[in-house]
Structures are given as C-alpha cells and as structure tokens.
Amino acid sequence: MTELAENLPATTPLDGNGRSTLFTAARTANSFAPTPVGDDELREIWELAKWAPTAANTQPLRVLFVRTEEGRDRLVRHMADGNKEKTASAPAVAVLAVDTRFHEHIPALLPFRPELADVFATNDEMRSSTGSFNSALQAGYFILAVRALGLAAGPMAGFDSDGVDAEFFADGRWKSILVVNIGHPGENPWFDRLPRLDPADSTRWA
Amino acid sequence: MTELAENLPATTPLDGNGRSTLFTAARTANSFAPTPVGDDELREIWELAKWAPTAANTQPLRVLFVRTEEGRDRLVRHMADGNKEKTASAPAVAVLAVDTRFHEHIPALLPFRPELADVFATNDEMRSSTGSFNSALQAGYFILAVRALGLAAGPMAGFDSDGVDAEFFADGRWKSILVVNIGHPGENPWFDRLPRLDPADSTRWA
C-alpha cells in the first residue's frame, strides 16, 4: 500500500451540503454572472477530476480551457444558435475532447503493462470504443468537479464538432465530445427542473 | 424558477473531506470487508446519481443491483477471470446498462418537446451515439455517487457483456456497459496508485 492509501479518509460519507452541491440541488446554469473564473480555479477542477478511475488507467479525456475574448469568439461561432449566447456570457468554457491516440501514454500510465499500447495501436475498434466510453465517463467526473468548486456547469452537446476540431485541434488528434460553460449563476439561471425517471423504470434487482 | 431552484445551495464549494471522498483520496477497491450494504444504501446511490445532467434529459443509464447469492452466482460466471473473486466478495454489485429504447421516455422526461422521441426513433445512429455517450456520462456520476455514500466503488470493464445481457436482460432492451463492485474496503484493498497525465499533456488554453 502507498502512503496515500494508508491515510485514506475515503469512507467518510459526503455531508448534506456536499450532496446538494454535487447532485440534489445543483442545476445546469443557463446564464452567468460577470464574476470571473480564474485560471487557478480551472486548473483545480482538473486536479480533482483527473483522479477518478478509467479503464486500465487510460485517461483519454483532454480539456481545452477557453477564457480569452479571442478564444471565445472562435468557439462561439461553432456553437448551435441556441447555445451561442450562453457560451458568449460564460466567464470560462471547457471544450472536452478525446485523445484519439491516448494509448501512446500507456507505458507511462500503466507501467506494469506497457504492451497494452500495442494492443490498442493495432485494434482500431477497441481503441475507439475504449476512448469513447472512458472519455465520456471522465466528462461525468469533470462536470461534478466543476460543481465541487462551487461553480455552475452548463454542459452542451449542441455544437459543430467538426468545426470546433478544425478550429482548435487542427492536428486531428483531439476530437471534441462536449462543451461545458463554467461560471457563477447569473439572473434567472435555471429552467424548471425536469423530471427524473421513476426508479421502477431505471433500476432492477437480482 | 422552481421552489427547488430558489433554495439552491449549489455554489457552496465541497469541503476538504468531500474532495477527498470523491476525488483525491478515493481509490478503486480490490477487496471488500464482509460489512453488508443495504438495499436502502443502493437506492440512495441512485437517488443522488439520477439528478446529474444528461443531453435533452434523456437519462439512458439503467442499473441492475445484484446482491442475492443467486444473482451474484449468475453474474460472476460472466466476469473475466481476474475479476471473478472481487465480484464474488463484494457485498453488492451494480451492472450499469444503457436502455437502447431510452427515447420512449422522452414525452415524460422532456414534456415541452415530446417529438424528439420520434427523431430518435427514426435515426439509429443518433439514438445509438446519444445513448452511448450519455449512459457513460451517467456511469461517471454513478461511481462518484457510490463514493458520496462513503462506500468504495470497483468499476470493471472486464466481463462478457453478451453473456451478462443474455443472463439478465433477455428482452434485449438493456445492454450492459460497466460492472461496479460496491462495499467497504477489505484487507489490502488498494494497489499502488497509478500516475495521472501531466496537465501539459491533458490540458490546453485559449
């Protein structure tokens, strides 16, 4: 066991505030206050999200943080019409992407099994499905890590991913999967909360 | 705004214990103590995870909670050899699945745009990609919700998904995507922690 593991407080349940902040009361913000979000906060989001688990420690998710005026202009033009205004007003925006060549990091990330890099290199279907699944899993971690910082997240699938990729990832290695507005809620930031599935429709027992 | 939204404590940052429990100190457990996990705890995991956002509120993830001896026997035989013992010793196991006909719930889940159900019904590629991406996103929420309860999660992709689907989801509607052991850590539960990518390799700025 590592020193980290021995000091684990990992079985401390989240208190009520924590559960509210991450799950039960958190909402997708549709408007943002002008309060800035600093680069240190953006780095901190990733410093949380990066620790959550992925298959064979592959960590295929990549993050482009957009917060300059020029960067935002380049991004907004590829957003769906209904999302342009939200993205234009968010203090910071994260473009989440999958690294299509994530397997090249495997010798460093999974040092006891470096040969897995070659397995992925020669199996396109396995590489693609592992990258897609685990980057989406990490996108879930990322959204909750935004909330963990006390910030509102606004995830959006409505954008031209080919346009975003050509704009920001011209070498073709990263492929955008989700855009997440990040900031403090503005005026009338929430729509009415939509229903969740009844557990009778979403869970079974054996 | 709804009553829920007005009472939002959503901008309260997670405290240090919360960040440890969910992200920085939490680890994937490889052995479990005999301490039982009750059905009430399993229901509570889902009561947290279900609130986190999905595209167009589609919520395609489904959960089969396995905790009877018979259910576990049926599941273990489809796990990869290296995972059989862990799954056999976990007090509870969740089989996460995607509902391939998730769009049939759209009229109830997105009441102002029920016609989206028909768009998904007639577009196989869009239905499949939306289901895959959002169920994986929700799998990320689910793993962190397990941790939020103070429990250890052991997510595993190493199982025969066709076998699991034939065993538990014979009607063909749910397709398994991930198996998650759930319990309290046992003896020597952690491997050494594996490295995470350097932010220089995983993040960019614009």
pLDDT over threshold 80, residue A1: no
pLDDT over threshold 90, residue A47: yes
Say which residue, A6 or A126, is predicted with more confidence: A126
Contact B143, B155 (CB under 8 A): yes
Looking at beta carbons, which residues of chain B come within 8 Å of A65?
A: 203-206
pLDDT computed for residue B10 by the predictor? 52
Domains of chain B: 28-186 (3.40.109.10)
Pairing of strands A203-205, B61-66: parallel
Pairing of strands A152-156, A92-99: unpaired
| Average pLDDT estimate for A35-60 | 98
Q: What's the CA dihedral at A81, A85, A87, A91 to 10 degrees?
A: 170
Contact A138, A60 (CB under 8 A): yes
The per-residue pLDDT for range A150-194, each reduced to its tens digit, is: 999 999 999 999 999 999 999 999 999 999 999 999 988 888 899
pLDDT over threshold 50, residue B9: no
Looking at beta carbons, which residues of chain B come within 8 Å of A136?
A: 132-134, 136-137, 139-140
The DSSP call for residue A20 is: I
pLDDT over threshold 80, residue A5: no
Measured distance CA(B195)–CA(B197) in Å, rounded: 7
pLDDT computed for residue B8 by the predictor? 52
Contact B28, A36 (CB under 8 A): no
| Average pLDDT estimate for A121-138 | 98
Confidence of residue A8 (pLDDT cuts 50, 70, 90): low
pLDDT over threshold 50, residue B41: yes
| Average pLDDT estimate for A135-141 | 98
The per-residue pLDDT for range B76-107, each reduced to its tens digit, is: 999 999 999 999 999 999 999 999 999 999 99
Could you tell me if B50 lies within 8 Å of chain A, comparing CB atoms? yes
First to last CA, chain A: 34
CB contact under 8 A, B136 and A140: yes
Q: Tell me the two tokens of residue A196.
A: 């969740």
pLDDT computed for residue A191 by the predictor? 84
pLDDT computed for residue B2 by the predictor? 39
CB contact under 8 A, B10 and A152: yes
A66 by DSSP, 3-state: which? strand
CA dist list (Å): A144 to A29, B42, B175:
13, 20, 25
Could you tell me if A171 lies within 8 Å of chain B, comparing CB atoms? no
pLDDT computed for residue B13 by the predictor? 95
> What is the side-by-side strand order in the sheet with B61-66?
A203-205, B61-66, B92-99, B174-183, B152-156
CB contact under 8 A, A144 and B188: no
Measured distance CA(B184)–CA(B181) in Å, rounded: 10
Which residues 4-23 on chain A approach chain B with CB closer than 8 angstroms? 4-5, 7-15, 17-23
pLDDT over threshold 70, residue B112: yes
DSSP letters along B57-119, please?
G---EEEEEE-SHHHHHHHHTTB-HHHHHHHHH-SEEEEEEEETTGGGGHHHHSTT-TTHHHH
CB contact under 8 A, A11 and B150: yes
Q: For residue B7, give the amino acid letter.
A: N
The per-residue pLDDT for range B158-186, each reduced to its tens digit, is: 999 999 999 999 999 999 999 999 999 99
Pairing of strands B203-205, A152-156: unpaired
Measured distance CA(B139)–CA(A52) in Å, rounded: 12
Neighbours of B171 (CB within 10 A): 6
pLDDT over threshold 50, residue A9: no
By Cβ distance, the residue of B21, B111, B194 closest to A14 is B21
b/e map A154-189, b = 16+ CB within 10 Å: bbbbebebeebbebbbeeeebbbbbbbbbbbbbeeb
Confidence of residue A10 (pLDDT cuts 50, 70, 90): low
ipTM computed for the complex: 0.95
Contact A149, A143 (CB under 8 A): no
First to last CA, chain B: 34
Give the distance from residue B58's alpha carbon to the nearest chain A alpha carbon, in angstroms: 9
For Cα atoms A59, B98, A149, give the angle at the middle one, nearest 5 degrees: 45
pLDDT computed for residue B16 by the predictor? 94
Q: For residue A13, give the amino acid letter.
A: P
Q: B141 to chain A: nearest residue by CA?
A: A140
Give the distance from residue B103's alpha carbon to the nearest chain A alpha carbon, in angstroms: 12
Q: What is the mean pLDDT of chain B?
A: 94
**Which range is least confidently modeled, A65-69, A119-123, B46-50, B188-192?**
B188-192
CB contact under 8 A, B151 and A15: no
Which residues 135-154 on chain B approach chain A with CB closer than 8 angstroms? 136-141, 143-145, 147-153
pLDDT computed for residue A192 by the predictor? 87
Give the distance from residue B26's alpha carbon to the nearest chain A alpha carbon, in angstroms: 5
pLDDT over threshold 90, residue A7: no
CB contact under 8 A, A17 and B20: no
pLDDT computed for residue B1 by the predictor? 35
B189 by DSSP, 3-state: which? coil
By Cβ distance, the residue of B17, B141, B206 closest to A144 is B141
Burial label for B143, CB within 10 Å (0-12, 13-18, 19+), is buried
Pairing of strands A152-156, B174-183: unpaired
pLDDT over threshold 70, residue A92: yes
Q: What is the mean pLDDT of chain A?
A: 94
CB contact under 8 A, A148 and B27: no
Q: What percent of chain A has pLDDT over 90?
A: 89
| Average pLDDT estimate for A98-124 | 98
Cβ neighbours of residue A144 under 8 Å, at least 6 residues apart? A22, A49, B22, B52, B140, B141, B144
pLDDT computed for residue B192 by the predictor? 87
Backbone angles phi, psi at A64, to 5 degrees: -105, 115
Measured distance CA(B172)–CA(B184) in Å, rounded: 33
Cross-strand pairs, A95 = A64, A179
By Cβ distance, the residue of A25, A46, A205 closest to B8 is A25
pLDDT over threshold 60, residue B3: no
Could you tell me if B33 lies within 8 Å of chain A, comparing CB atoms? no
